[in-house]
Amino acid sequence: MNLYYISRNYKSSNNAASKPKTDCEVVMENNGFKNLGFKQTTHASSAIGAIISFFGITKGLFLLPRKSVLGMQYPLSKFYGYVTTIARIKGCKIILIVHDVKSLMGKAKSIEKEMQKFSKADVLIAHNDAMQKWFLDNGYQGKIVPLYLFDYLSFDEELETGLLDSNEEHKIVFAGGLGKEKSAFIYKMDNFKNRNFTLKLYGNGFQKKEVNPNNSVINYQGVFSPDAVVKEIKGNFGLVWNGNSVEECAGDFGKYLLYNNPHKTSLYILCGLPILVWEKAAIAKFITSNKLGIAINTLEEVDEKLKYLSKEEYKEMTDNVALTRKKIMEGGFLSEALKKALEII
């Protein structure tokens, strides 16, 4: 089977937006897919990046053999229609790795129009069972393979697991966008009656003025690149939560957790941290069934949940995290999904 993908420019920055996509290219390469475009680049300039991507994609489409298999990633902004049209003309099969669904994020005007884009693929690699059901409920006719967890490639074999000491404040890590649009809940956690924990924040958009420096659970750690942050993060748990409420994951960003696998989950596991996750999040089922962490209904439950967690229960979680960590470091989840997708094709 002739397997190909076409690399492009991924804008470099200190957030982890490009990390899942660049990792996917590496995993595809490791699974026999050959790059027909230019070598992967990370120019920060959007204009230069777009030019590189256009010419690299054009080269790749020209070289793409007829009736081969093309691995793609979604979204692909302005180039998606271009690539899928040429691939279809050449009679190629398309495996589409889904990173984000704009309709589920509240960013698409029409579900039908976005579904037309997805329908150009023969097999989707979707985040999980909940997202798979959403695609089927909204008319997707092709095959779907669940991913379950994004890989987070790393060559750092060392792992320091934090011990759980019931006499100390628990250290909860939250990594990602810290602005009020996406993560307003952060700045409401100082209002909790019981807060025997420290919330360690890593990322862009920290709202310093919202925090009382003399009486806060918040401890801002700074901004780091996706690779450097792995060495910086230290704590007992990684928090998966979004939105403007501490009662539930609300708003477009919060509701997206009903369907997606947040990449930060993989980052926490790579750092050896068990997960604290909203119980209605799509990824909660995977976390609890594999004993990788704790599901919570509201953030106010955190203090009590951790208070009664035994050292033995915590060790079981960290042991399971270590096993899963090895798999995401090596690209194991996407490798499994690609194999299933190729079997379908």
Q: What CATH number is associated with residue 322?
A: 3.40.50.2000
Q: Give the pLDDT of residue 160.
A: 61
Splitting the chain (345 residues) into consecutive groups of 10 residues, what average pLDDT does each group show? Answer: 94 76 96 96 86 95 98 93 97 98 90 95 97 96 96 78 65 94 93 92 94 91 90 95 95 93 96 97 97 97 92 95 95 98 96
In a domain, 196, yes or no: yes
Within-domain flag for 162: no
Asked whether residue 46 is domain-assigned, the answer is yes
Q: How many CB atoms lie within 10 A of CB 291?
A: 14
218 shares its domain with 129: no
Per the domain annotation, does 124 fall within a domain? yes
Say whether both 198 and 291 belong to one domain: yes
Both 146 and 222 in one domain: the answer is no
Amino acid 227: pLDDT: 83
Q: 232 and 317 share a domain?
A: yes
Within a domain: 160: no
Q: Residue 118 is part of which domain span?
A: 3-151+330-344
Residue 222 pairs with which residues in a beta bridge?
202
Check whether residue 146 and residue 228 sit in a common domain: no
Token pair in block for residue 91: 């009679």
Residue 205 has what pLDDT?
94
pLDDT at position 116 is: 95
Q: Which of 344, 334, 339 is nearest to 25 (CA)?
A: 334
Q: Which two tokens stand for residue 333?
A: 């989840």
Distance of alpha carbon 3 from its chain centroid, rounded? 25
Q: Are residues 201 and 302 in the same domain?
A: yes
Burial of 225 (0-12, 13-18, 19+ CB in 10 A): middle
Rounded Cα–Cα distance for residues 176 and 150 (Å): 16
One domain for residues 127 and 33:
yes
Q: Please check whether residue 163 lies inside any domain of the structure.
A: no
Residues 129 and 256 reside in one and the same domain: no
Contacts of 211 (CB under 8 A, 6+ apart): 187, 190, 218, 220
CA distances from 153 to 106, 130, 276, 329 (A): 29, 25, 22, 4
Q: Please give the torsion angle defined by the CA atoms of residues 220, 221, 224 and 226, in that order, rounded to the nearest 10 degrees.
A: -90
The predicted pLDDT at position 162 comes to: 56
Number of structural domains found in the chain:
2
Residue 165 is assigned to a structural domain of this protein: no
Half-sphere exposure of 194 (CA within 13 A, CB side): 10
In a domain, 232, yes or no: yes
Q: Which helix (H) or strand (E) holds 168?
A: none
Same structural domain, 217 and 300: yes
What sign does the dihedral 318-15-100-183 (CA atoms) show?
A: positive
Residue 92, both tokens: 């190629």
Do residues 119 and 182 share a domain? no
